[in-house]
Chains A and B, each alone.
Chain A
């Protein structure tokens, strides 16, 4: 609270300063930020981007927002110039930008849409690979969210804000933020970066298929492809959503409320039996896995080594992952075969757990018998010691 008051005080003091002093302070901040800028390291100076303000005693003026992208493009779209810094650098950013929703609106005179500096920064620009960069994988959701999660900024464009919690609750966010997997998709992975635009119904599947290759293959070979095309549905999104892509659950397959099949299929629909069969097999496999895992954990807690069981369980999990992928074929046959292999592996894991627990019982019984014999020996020895002459 005290910090907030202090900040408010500084801001108030700043606004009360004469305009010349304000401009000087702002220039100092820009100069300080530029020290760490990738352009400064490349020998680019202030005058490369800024004109001197007339009558300002040498102060630089900011370029108009609509001029920023063309200004950056003077260097970044020049392959001969850019090759001096990196022979493999791309130079199509401005072309891409012009095809993006941002670029089109900017060209139409709407200066409130994003331009280069909104995402990359103006005076402290760092390389994308630098984790401090606003466009580094871990920072992209925050950078885009600054505008797209803000209802006030989106309202003039007639768009609803995209709540940041949508992506944060997704499997993709979990992979990036919890596991640190920087290959996990963020906003730019599906929408594009410089050419950012919402993927249309026709291209959503292609976007997802870049990573989910097998699922896409199965879907395209299934009868669902033609049906979805005919009714204008955006394939993957129908079941998985777009930003809030949650971890898939077996309960998604089914005819009951909450299942993703239910909105289109009822108990009497074509394929209802296939849905029921797939759901039953998925449930059976999950149950077999949980049961085997619990048994192996119990055996491990007693100190037994159950590596064979763990190997079988890993195999079963692999079959489970593959059988969940095979759901995208929307047919019982290939799925049932894989699920049955998973159940068989889980059964082997379960048997290994049972064998370990039985072995433990054998050990304990053996110990009990040995202890009884040893105790008998100790009692005999004690009696013998007591009977020795001398009473010690």
Chain B
């Protein structure tokens, strides 16, 4: 039976070629190999997001009058609705963490070098898209915290010169955060961003397949002296089974988090109520939030918030174009390494400061 199905498929699809290619594909095996798995974990979490998001769509209603109640219904009435929503929320957070770990590991191992420039660029764009998914999804339950955090978050965009006001109106679908904002962000979250993300993930994977895994410069030098010192692990079944192991462990972690710490819903948003104390964005935006809090109102006669937003924009642009900006000498690699360490330390310190500030 299986043989007949296989031959039927072989006749129509290049399955045998794909399997043959994968059989011959290898992955370098060295002391930094563990970092290769974060890409797979991020992809697994993206798949979880798509699956659980599709299930949530069956019941979710994107309007100010029904969004909160529909999430409440999902949590309280739909069989395993609580589990699906909690996994969606937790895996979104783990995905951001895993994407950051993947990005910094690629940065520190200098895997952005020729010929993997486009792999890096597509990866940075995917991280920015992941953050956009987080921002657009945060408002969807229409609860108090997300409502005011979105108001603060969209306000920041207003500091962009000339375009700021227009951008805020575009994001909010009006002058303030309303039901129109919810509907708009929902559209981005479930249609526009997934379409772009799917295309970029496809490109990213294709490029990874095309160029294979990068060797860190130190291992590369050793391999140049003596190729036998760097071993290659078969992709099938060695690497893929390890990937499955990591994905299963992450799935277990997700189930545990969702059971013991179900994602809270909080109180329904009320546009006329005063903003509650302790309003803050998701943890991955905290560093930016805290930075903006401490920037002086004017620096050298220029709006401080504008300067901070411009610096963050320049940082993101620099990260995106890193392979084209960084040289290939050991000295520039060291510089990139220290800039990366500095950025990571700054983001960690600011996040820690923000968390300490809101601790009871």
Main secondary structure of the interface of A (DSSP, over half): helix
**Which residue of B is nearest A364, CB measured?**
B259
* Cross-chain contact A363 with B259 (CB below 8 angstroms): yes
Q: Does B237 contact A (CB under 8 A)?
A: yes
A378 to B237, CA, bound (A): 15
Q: Do the beta carbons of B29 and A371 come within 8 Å of each other?
A: no
Contact indicator A392/B248 (Cβ below 8 Å): no
- Give Cα A371 to B257, complex, Å: 12
Q: A388: CB under 8 A from chain B?
A: yes
Within A302-343, the residues touching B (CB, 8 Å) are 303-305, 307-308
Bound complex: CA A305 to CA B255 (Å): 18
Query: Interface residue count for B (Cβ, 8 Å)?
Result: 28
Chain B residues closer than 8 Å to A381, beta-carbon distance: 241, 244-245, 248
Query: What's the minimum C-beta distance from A232 to chain B, rounded to whole angstroms?
Result: 50
> Do residues A367 and B256 form an inter-chain contact, with CB atoms below 8 A?
yes
Query: Which chain A residues lie closer than 8 Å to B29 at the CB level?
Result: 392
At the interface, yes or no: B251 with Cβ under 8 Å from chain A? yes
Judge if A377 is at the interface, Cβ distance under 8 Å.
Answer: yes
Chain A residue with Cβ nearest B86:
A303
Contact size range, A: 20 to 34
Report chain B residues within 8 Å CB of A364. Answer: 259-260
Also in contact, A374 and B248, with CB within 8 A (given A303-B261, A388-B241, A392-B238): yes
- Kindly state the separation between the CA atoms of A311 and B261 in the bound complex, as whole angstroms: 24
Whether B233 pairs with A378 at a CB distance below 8 angstroms is no
Contact code string B163-181 (vs A, CB < 8 Å = 1, else 0): 0000000000000000000
Option from B237, B261, B262, B263 in Cβ contact (under 8 Å) with A388: B237
Q: Mark A359-389, 1 if CB is under 8 A from B, else 0.
A: 0000110110011001101100110110010
User: Which residues of B sit under 8 angstroms from A366, Cβ to Cβ?
Assistant: 259
Of the candidates B245, B252, B262, the one whose C-beta lies within 8 Å of that of A385 is B245
Contact of B245 among A367, A378, A392 (CB under 8 A): A378
Q: Which residues of chain B have C-beta atoms less than 8 A from A378's C-beta?
A: 245, 248-249, 252
Q: Is B23 an interface residue (CB 8 A)?
A: no
Distance (whole angstroms) from the CB of B360 to the closest CB of chain A? 15
CB-based contact B265/A390 at 8 Å: no
Known: A364-B260, A375-B252. 5 other contacts (CB 8 A): A303-B260, A307-B76, A371-B252, A374-B248, A381-B248
21 intermolecular pairs with C-beta atoms under 8 Å apart: A303-B262, A304-B262, A305-B72, A305-B75, A305-B76, A364-B259, A364-B260, A366-B259, A367-B256, A370-B255, A371-B256, A374-B248, A378-B248, A378-B249, A381-B245, A385-B241, A385-B242, A385-B245, A388-B238, A392-B29, A392-B231
